[in-house]
Amino acid sequence: MKSYRKELWFNTEKRREFINITPLVEECLRESGIKDGLLLCNAMHITASVFINDDERGLLQDFENFLEKLAPEKPYSQYRHNTLEDNADAHLKRTIMGREVVVAVTDGRLDFGPWEQIFYGEFDGKRNKRVLVKIIGE
């Protein structure tokens, strides 16, 4: 069995962004040479997320609106965590969207359903953060 590991680094211009990272993950799969196995992709920061969904512009804005209703950024005073930082909402948004995805690898390709794409969700950006890609298989 083979194993492959790579870190992808992101530094977003805005506090919150959604980035389709499918092409980067597919490049990792090509580099790995693994044809059949499993791919894990996870955010290595507690205010960021990796998730699978459709790459549809309206849907990404809907995620933003939905998350802001559930865990609004402001007022900062509504959160007990916001003593040294102002990112309590980002921690909650990450919990809602999830930490990681696992995708089957079949014949050297991500074994996706229709329209599925992998996204990096940033909820407290403007600084360097990483995503781990780990692939095991043959």
The model's pTM is 0.96
What residue segments make up the domains of the chain, in order of their start?
A: 2-137
Contacts of residue 117, Cβ cutoff 8 Å, sequence gap at least 6? 20, 22, 52, 53, 54, 55
Give the domain 2-137 fold. Answer: Jelly Rolls (2.60.120)
Q: Identify which of 80, 24, 22, 81 has the alpha carbon closest to the alpha carbon of residue 47.
A: 81
For the record, the structure tokens of 138 come out as: 């043959």
Q: Which long-range contacts (CB under 8 A, 24 or more apart) does 111-114 make?
A: 112/52
**Chain mean position to CA 132:** 10
As averages over each run of 10 residues, the pLDDT of the chain (138 residues) reads 98 97 98 98 98 95 97 96 93 98 98 97 97 98
Let me know: does 118 contact 68? Beta carbons within 8 Å: no
Q: Which residue's structure tokens are 């992101």?
A: 10
What was the pLDDT predicted at 25? Answer: 99
Q: Identify which of 38, 31, 20 has the alpha carbon closest to the alpha carbon of residue 106.
A: 38
Neighbours of 48 (CB within 10 A): 25
Q: Which residue's structure tokens are 């050297």?
A: 108
DSSP 122: E
What was the pLDDT predicted at 84? Answer: 86
What was the pLDDT predicted at 57? Answer: 83
